[in-house]
Amino acid sequence: MRIALLSNIHENLPALEACFKSMDEQKPDAIHCLVFLLRWKNQRKTIKRVVM
């Protein structure tokens, strides 16, 4: 079983996009988010880009 772990990305969008790209290539069976990916306050642009 392949598991992808995401942790402490915060608002580092290039790092988050690199994680998504790697997951697309590696095809994990499960994805687990350990802690914060984004700080919701004042991060509307980043959140929109990730969600879209």
Overall domain count for the chain: 1
Read off the pTM.
0.65
11 compared with 20, residue with greater pLDDT: 20
DSSP assignment string, 16-42: HHHHHHHHHHH--SEEEE-S-S---TT
Angle at 39 between CA 21 and CA 10, to 5 degrees: 40
Which two three-digit tokens encode residue 52?
Answer: 């879209």
Model confidence pLDDT, tens digit, residues 16-47: 889 889 999 999 999 888 766 556 666 666 66
Q: What is the pLDDT of residue 22?
A: 94
Query: pLDDT grade, residue 15 (50/70/90)?
Result: confident
Domain around 22? 3-51
Task: Look at phi and psi of residue 26 and say left if phi exceeds 0, alpha if psi is from -120 to 50, else beta.
Answer: alpha
